[in-house]
Amino acid sequence: MKTTCKKLVHGIEAFFIEKIISSSLKINERQKRLISSGLKKIAFDILGFRKEYVVKSISDRLEVPLSKATDIAGKAYFHFFNNCMTMISLSLGKPEALLSSIKITGFDYFKEAYSRNSGVIILSGHYGLWELIPHFFSLNGYKMTSVVRRQSNQHVDIIMENMRKAHGASTTDSGFNMRQSLKDLRNGNLLGLMIDQNAGDKGIFIDFLGKPASTVPGPAILSEKTEAPLVLAIVRPSQNALHKHEVEFFPPFYPENYFNSSNGRFELTARYSDLFCSIIKKNPEQWFWLHRRWKSNNTFSSL
């Protein structure tokens, strides 16, 4: 009975996601915003899905009153739905539509890192339109593999996999093949890693928006082993009327600047986490606050 119910729930989830994908490919930007407003109203205002947790997290981490935190939270729900629909339509649409919709900032930082011929670790998080980053690189001729967490719903996982690979990028599990990842980087390719997911007992505890959070050590470990620089990239809605979205790159982190001490991995992880947190603080409504980032515990540790 339990297995049957689980299959039914997974089937319903897949059905609705397929409907959202189908709709996203047919409607214009105004219609996406209207649908996103409706979904925000249902999830946040009516059902209150994780509302209390999100509002409290925003209030505590950004040090703002609950009224302000509630306003930011509502916008975060809206932008999550709107960004998802946009990522779907661009991921599964024509390549020229994706490339023409973006403005690039700081690409010289990436090229500087890439010129070392030791591969580049592309860092990002659940901010803005993060799923567009691998597509951007693939459509510009770079070979990139993204490390992703598989969905428990196999049907949904297949849908996500097809979307992520639509323009030529590759994926690998979060329990990824270290040997293959090392090989990819040493061949001068790109490896994409998310840095804002709770890593449980496998993580190291780094300050994240003022509170210790279990953080994946993988980027620092791979950088140390391959000498590959790390470059943080994000995609945010653009203020430029000619482009809807802005892909921004930040100055590289070079491993030789960190691995001359026993705490090198901890320090490197802290530095790029701090950079990402500074981005969140500027536009907090673009980050995925629904993720329970600080759920593991509240003590620091190091590698």
Confidence of residue 243 (pLDDT cuts 50, 70, 90): low
Q: Is 107 exposed, middle or buried (0-12, 13-18, 19+ CB in 10 A)?
A: middle
Burial 66-76 (b: 16+ CB within 10 A, else e): eeebbebbbbb
Is residue 167 within 8 A of residue 98, CB to CB? The reply is yes
Report the C-alpha gap between 122 and 110 in whole angstroms. Answer: 9
Report the C-alpha gap between 148 and 113 in whole angstroms. Answer: 23
For Cα atoms 35, 164, 188, give the angle at the middle one, nearest 5 degrees: 140
Report the C-alpha gap between 106 and 299 in whole angstroms. Answer: 35
List, in order, residues 6 or more apart from 152 with CB less than 8 Å away. Answer: none
Report the C-alpha gap between 23 and 298 in whole angstroms. Answer: 42
Report the C-alpha gap between 159 and 258 in whole angstroms. Answer: 39
pLDDT tens-digit series, residues 211-237: 999 999 999 999 999 999 999 999 998
Q: Kind of pairing, strands 190-194 and 204-208?
A: unpaired
Q: Is 86 exposed, middle or buried (0-12, 13-18, 19+ CB in 10 A)?
A: buried
List, in order, residues 6 or more apart from 265 with CB less than 8 Å away. Answer: 204, 217, 220, 221, 224, 258, 259, 302, 303
Report the C-alpha gap between 238 and 243 in whole angstroms. Answer: 6
Report the C-alpha gap between 202 and 174 in whole angstroms. Answer: 12
Tell me the pTM: 0.91
pLDDT tens-digit series, residues 158-181: 888 888 898 988 888 765 567 778
Is residue 300 predicted with pLDDT exceeding 50? Answer: no
Is residue 150 predicted with pLDDT exceeding 90? Answer: no
Amino acid at 189: N
Is residue 60 predicted with pLDDT exceeding 90? Answer: yes
Average pLDDT value for the chain: 89
pLDDT tens-digit series, residues 273-294: 999 999 999 999 999 999 999 9
DSSP alpha helices (H): ranges in the chain?
2-24, 29-40, 51-62, 66-91, 95-100, 107-114, 132-139, 154-164, 178-186, 218-226, 264-282
Report the C-alpha gap between 166 and 134 in whole angstroms. Answer: 10
For the chain, what is the largest distance between any 2 Cα atoms, rounded to a whole number of angstroms? Answer: 57
Report the C-alpha gap between 164 and 135 in whole angstroms. Answer: 8
Is residue 10 predicted with pLDDT exceeding 70? Answer: no
